[in-house]
Structure 1
Amino acid sequence: MSNLSIWLKPIWLLSLGTTAGLAILIVLWGILYLVNRRAAIAVGNSVREGILLPVTYTLAALGFLALLATPTMDPSELVNSLKRLTDVGQVEITETIPANTPDYPIEISFRPDELQEYSFDSDQDLAINVEKGKGYIEPVLQIEGNQLYQWSPGSSLPRGFEDEVDTLYFTNETDLPSKMTAIITSDVAMPEVHYLPLAALSVIGLYLGYLLITLLAPKAAIIASATSKEAISQPLFLLLILIGIAALVLYVYVPYNTFGEDVKMLKTSGMATIKVLAIIFALWTASVSVADEIEGRTALTVLSKPVSRRQFILGKFLGIVWPILLMFLILGTVFLLTVSYKVVYDARESAKTTPIWNDCFIEVVRIIPGLILAFYEAVVMAAISVAISTRLAMLPNLIICGSIYVLGHLGPLIVKSSAGEIVFVKFIGRLISIVLPVLDHYEIEGAIAGASSVPSEYLLLALLYSLLYCAAAMLLALLFFEDRDLA
C-alpha cells in the first residue's frame, strides 16, 4: 500500500487539478443558467452532442480516481501549500537606510522553511535582525559593504532565520546612507501544487475553446461534431486505444538493459507509440471522411445545403482533431500512470532504495510537454492528410503522408550530416525542411536523455509553427477542393 501511494500520488495531484477545472466549469454554467437560460441550454447541448461528452467522461473518471485514492494520501500538506500559494514567490526590495540609524524597519514577510534563496546587497555595513534593540549585538545577519550576501540551500552560509518573519530591522552605524537591495525567493512546502491551477486552466481552456469555435463557426462545428462522433464510433478507434494501452503497460515490464535508464526508454517508447497510433488514426479518418465521401457523393449532399466548401473542409479537419485529442487524453493518462509506476518498479527490481513520490512526479511532469508536442505533430499530419484526401483516395494518401512523415524527420538530419556538405544534397535537405513540416521540432529525445524539461516558450513557438503549417495545409486543401467536380 505504501508503494501504491508513492506512484499514484502524482496522478492523484493532477486529477485534483482537472477535477477542480470541471467544478469551476459547472459553477460557470450554473451562473449562465441563472443569467441566460437559453444560452445555458445551448451550451449543454453542445457538450452532450459533441466530442466534449467523452472528454467529460474521461475527466470524470480521473476525478473518481482522485476520490478513491484520497484515503491513501495525506491531504493536509496539500491544503496548507494551496493556502500559501499567494504568499510565496520572489520579492525584490530596494531601500535607503539613513546614516547612524538603528532598527530601520522594512516589511518583508516569509517563512524560513519556505526559503529557496535570498540575497542582500549594500554599499555600507549593515546588521539585520528580526526584532528591535539588537543592532550589532548577535545580529541575525551581518552584511559587509559592497559584498553580496547570497544564501541558497547548497551554500556554506547559514540560513540565519529560524522563525516566521514579517519585518526586518536594519542597523546602519556608518556616517553615510546605505542603499540596500534585498531579493527573497520562497516557495510552498509542496511545490508540486503549482501544477494544480495549470491542470484546471487547461480543462477550462479546452471547453471554452471548443465552445468558442462552435460560436464563431457554427456550420463547420456541426460538420466537425458529426465527423468526430462517426470517427470514435468506428472499431478502429477502440482497437487503437486498446493496442496503445496494452503496449504502454507492456513497456513497464520489458527489460531494456540500459543500466538504470529504463525509465527514459519507457518515456521514449511510450510517446512514439501514442504519436504513431494517433497519426494512423488521423490518416485513416481523413481518407474515410473526406475522400470516400467525395467519391460516394455524400459530400455533394452536404454541400447542397447552405454549407460552403470552406466550411466543409474546416469542419472535416476539426472533426479529425477532436478524436485525436480524446485519444491523447486517454492514452496520455495511462502513459503517466505507467511512467510513475516504472520509477518504483525499477527501484524494486534493482534492489535500490524505494523512491519518494516526488521522484515519480518529476518524471511524470517532464513527459507532459512531450505529449503536447506529439499532439501538435499528429494535428499537422492530419491537416496534410485532409489536403491530400480532397484529390486522392486512401492508399495514395497513406503512401504520401508516410513519405512526408519520414522526410519530415530526415530533412534536418540530411542538412547536418556529412553528406550535407555536398551542394546538391544540402539543397535537397533545405528544400525538404522548407516545403515539408520539420517534424524534428516535435521530438524531445534530447530532453529525455538529459533529464531536463521542455521550456514553455518552446511549446508556444511549436504551437505557432503548427498553426501556421495547418493554415497553409487548409489553404491548399481549399484550392484542391474548390474546383473539384463532385457530381
Structure 2
Amino acid sequence: MSNLPIWLTPIWLIATGVTVGALILLLVWLVLRAVNRPAGRAVSQALGEGVLLPLSYFVAGLALLAVLATPTMPWKEAIESLKRLPSVSTVEKTITVEEGSEQELPLVFKSSELQSYSFDSEQEIVVNLEAGKGYADPLLTVEAQTPYKWSPGGMRSREFEGDIEKIFLVNESDQPTQVTMQFERDVEMPEVRVILYSALAIMGLVTVYFLIRWLAPQVSVIASATSKETINQPIFLLLLVGAATLLFVYVWIPYNTFGEDVKMVKTTGMTTIKVFAILMALWTASVTIADEIEGRTALTVLSKPVGRRQFVIGKFLGIAWPIALMFLILGIFFVGLVSFKVVYDARESSKAVPIWQDCYREVIQILPGLLLAFYEAVIMAAISVAVSTRLPMIPNLVICGSIYVLGHLAALIVNSSVGDIVYVRFIGQLLAVILPVLDHFEIEGAIAGSSTAPGIYLLYAAGYSLLYCVVAMLLALILFEDRDLA
C-alpha cells in the first residue's frame, strides 16, 4: 500500500483529464438545454442508446477514481503546472552589446522550469543577475566564439536559481558583440499535459458521435442498434473479461529478460488487446450482416427508407464503436498494470523504489501503441464487413485471418534476404499494394528502443487507416449492391 501513490499517479492524471473533459461536455449540454430544450432532450435520449451508455459508466468510474485518489496525489503541483502551461516556451533572443558597456535585458522566468539554455557571443561577456557587478563576481562567463550550453545531466551545474526577472550582459572588450541566447522552458510537472490530451480525447470521441448522428441520422440509427446489440451480447463481455484476465496474468509471469520484463508486458499486452478486439469485430460482422442477410432480417430493414449504402456504413460504424469502447476499457486497465509492473519489478529485483515519473514514462510510451492497434482493428473490421456481405462466418474468419497474417508478413518478405528473389519480391510488393500493410501499426521496435511513436507518424497512420477503410467500404457496397436479399 505504501507504493500505491507511485504507480497510481499516471492513472490519476489520465482519469483527471477524462473527468475534466466530461465536465466540459456536461456544461455544454446544460447550455444547450437552456438555449434549445428539444435539442437538450435529444442529447439526453442519445445517452441511453448505442455505445454512449456504457461509455458514460466508464467515464463515471474514472471520475470516481480521480476524486478518491486526489488526496494522495501531487494535485497542488499539477494545478500550478497547468496554470503555467501557457507561459512556458522556448525563448530565443539576439542582441548587440556595445563595447565597454552593460546591457539590461528583461527576461521573466522560473529557473526551476529551465530545461536548457545557451549563450553564443562574438566577444567574451559575463552574465549577471544584478547591475554593476561586472567581471568581479560573474554568474557565468561566455568566452568569445565558444558557445556556452547547459542541460540537465551535463558537466555544468545550473547557475540560475529562483525567479528571474532580468539579466545583465557585460562586455568589457573594445569591440561590440552580438549575443544569441536561447532558453528552453517547461513546467515543473510536464506530465500534466496528459490531462489536456485525455480531456480532448473524450470530448473528441463524443463530438464525433453526435456529428455522425446529426449529419447521417439513418446511418446513426443503424450504428446505434448494431453497437447496442454487440455490447449486450455475452461474447462481448466474455472477450472483455478474457483479455483483462490475460493482461493481469502477464504482470506475474517471469519472463527472465534481465530487467526487460516491462517491455515484454507492454508488447504482449497490446497484441492481446488488438487480437481480442479483432475477434469481436469479425464475429459481430458475421452476426449482424451475414446472418441478417441469410435470415432476411436485412430485407425488413431495407424495406424502410434506408438504402443499402446506409445499411453497410451503419453496420461498420456499429462495429467500430464497440471496438473503441473495448480499447478504452482494456487500455486503462492495461495502463494501470504496466505502471504497477514497474514498481513490482523493482521490488522483485531488490532495486530502489522508482518514482512515479518512472511509471509515467513507461505508461506514456504505450498510449500511441494502443492507438495504432485501434487503427489496425478498425481496418480489419472494415474488411470483415466487406466479406460478410457475401460470405458467412467461417469463410469470413478464414479470409480475414489470412489477410491479418499476410498483412504483417508482406513488408518482412520484401525486406528479408528471401526478398532478393525476383518472384518473391514481386509477390511481396503485390501483397503490400493490395492488402493493408499491418506492420505499419506495430510499435514493438519503438518499445525495444525505449522510445515512442511521434505524433506525425500517428497522423500518417490515421490517414492510411481511413483511406483503407474507405476502400473496404467501397468494395462492400459493390458486393452488396446486387446481392439478392429475397
In 1: Cα distance, 2:321 partner to 2:444 partner: 26
- Determine helix, strand or coil for the equivalent of 1:317: helix
Q: Which amino acid aligns with 1:459?
A: L
- 1:398 aligned onto 2:402: no
In 2: Cα distance, 1:214 partner to 1:175 partner: 73
In 2: Cα distance, 1:159 partner to 1:359 partner: 23
Which residue in 1 is equivalent to 2:11?
11
Q: Which amino acid aligns with 1:259?
A: F
- 1:327 aligned onto 2:356: no
Q: How does 1:73-222 map to 2 (within 5 A)?
A: 73-102=73-102, 104-222=103-221
Q: How does 1:36-435 map to 2 (within 5 A)?
A: 36-102=36-102, 104-435=103-434
Structure 1 range deviating more: 129-138 or 249-258: 129-138
- Determine helix, strand or coil for the equivalent of 1:70: helix
- Determine helix, strand or coil for the equivalent of 2:47: helix
Over 3 Å counting, the alpha-carbon distance change for 1:41 and 1:98 in structure 2 is farther
In 2: Cα distance, 1:218 partner to 1:444 partner: 37
In 2: Cα distance, 1:73 partner to 1:161 partner: 29
Report the alpha carbon displacement of residue 89 of structure 1 after superposing the two structures with TM. Answer: 2.3
Report the alpha carbon displacement of residue 329 of structure 1 after superposing the two structures with TM. Answer: 0.8
- 1:23 aligned onto 2:23: yes
Q: Which amino acid aligns with 2:44?
A: G
Report the alpha carbon displacement of residue 321 of structure 1 after superposing the two structures with TM. Answer: 0.1
In 1: Cα distance, 2:340 partner to 2:147 partner: 44
Q: Which amino acid aligns with 2:385?
A: V
Q: Which amino acid aligns with 1:226?
A: A
- Determine helix, strand or coil for the equivalent of 1:84: helix
Q: Which amino acid aligns with 2:411?
A: P
In 2: Cα distance, 1:207 partner to 1:361 partner: 26
Over 3 Å counting, the alpha-carbon distance change for 1:179 and 1:32 in structure 2 is farther
- RMSD over equivalenced CA pairs, Å: 1.4
**Superimposed CA distance per residue, residues 380-419 of structure 1 (whole angstroms, 9 cap, x where no aligned partner):** 0000000011111111111100110111111111112222
Contact 2:116 2:150 in 1 (8 A): yes
**Superimposed CA distance per residue, residues 429-479 of structure 1 (whole angstroms, 9 cap, x where no aligned partner):** 111111000111111111111111111111111101000000000000011
Contact 2:95 2:180 in 1 (8 A): yes
In 1: Cα distance, 2:348 partner to 2:101 partner: 64
Q: Which amino acid aligns with 1:64?
A: L
> What TM-score do the two structures reach when normalised by structure 2?
0.97
Report the alpha carbon displacement of residue 120 of structure 1 after superposing the two structures with TM. Answer: 1.1
- Determine helix, strand or coil for the equivalent of 1:388: helix
- 1:479 aligned onto 2:478: yes
Report the alpha carbon displacement of residue 424 of structure 1 after superposing the two structures with TM. Answer: 1.1
- Determine helix, strand or coil for the equivalent of 1:94: strand
Contact 2:407 2:431 in 1 (8 A): yes
Q: Which amino acid aligns with 1:228?
A: S
Report the alpha carbon displacement of residue 37 of structure 1 after superposing the two structures with TM. Answer: 2.3
Q: Which amino acid aligns with 1:96?
A: T
- Determine helix, strand or coil for the equivalent of 1:48: coil
- Determine helix, strand or coil for the equivalent of 2:250: helix
Report the alpha carbon displacement of residue 175 of structure 1 after superposing the two structures with TM. Answer: 4.2
Q: Which amino acid aligns with 1:16?
A: T
In 2: Cα distance, 1:312 partner to 1:302 partner: 8
Which residue in 2 is equivalent to 1:2?
2
**Superimposed CA distance per residue, residues 193-228 of structure 1 (whole angstroms, 9 cap, x where no aligned partner):** 121111111111111111111111111011100000
Structure 1 range deviating more: 155-164 or 400-409: 155-164
> What TM-score do the two structures reach when normalised by structure 1?
0.97
Report the alpha carbon displacement of residue 330 of structure 1 after superposing the two structures with TM. Answer: 0.8
In 2: Cα distance, 1:166 partner to 1:44 partner: 51
In 2: Cα distance, 1:98 partner to 1:301 partner: 86
Q: Which amino acid aligns with 2:30?
A: G
Q: Which amino acid aligns with 1:172?
A: N
In 2: Cα distance, 1:163 partner to 1:357 partner: 25
- Determine helix, strand or coil for the equivalent of 1:256: coil
In 2: Cα distance, 1:62 partner to 1:81 partner: 22
Contact 2:50 2:226 in 1 (8 A): no
In 1: Cα distance, 2:37 partner to 2:132 partner: 65
**How many corresponding residue pairs?**
486
In 2: Cα distance, 1:377 partner to 1:70 partner: 35
Structure 1 range deviating more: 308-317 or 149-158: 149-158
Structure 1: tracts of 5 or more residues without a match: none
Q: Which amino acid aligns with 1:443?
A: E
> Which structure 1 residue ranges, 4+ long, deviate > 6 Å from structure 2?
none
Report the alpha carbon displacement of residue 125 of structure 1 after superposing the two structures with TM. Answer: 2.6
Which residue in 1 is equivalent to 2:454?
455
Q: Which amino acid aligns with 1:40?
A: G
Report the alpha carbon displacement of residue 68 of structure 1 after superposing the two structures with TM. Answer: 1.7
- Determine helix, strand or coil for the equivalent of 2:3: helix
Structure 1 range deviating more: 274-283 or 34-43: 34-43
In 1: Cα distance, 2:356 partner to 2:128 partner: 37
In 2: Cα distance, 1:131 partner to 1:153 partner: 25
In 1: Cα distance, 2:199 partner to 2:408 partner: 34
Q: Which amino acid aligns with 1:25?
A: L
Structure 2: tracts of 5 or more residues without a match: none
Structure 1 range deviating more: 368-377 or 162-171: 162-171
Which residue in 1 is equivalent to 2:467?
468
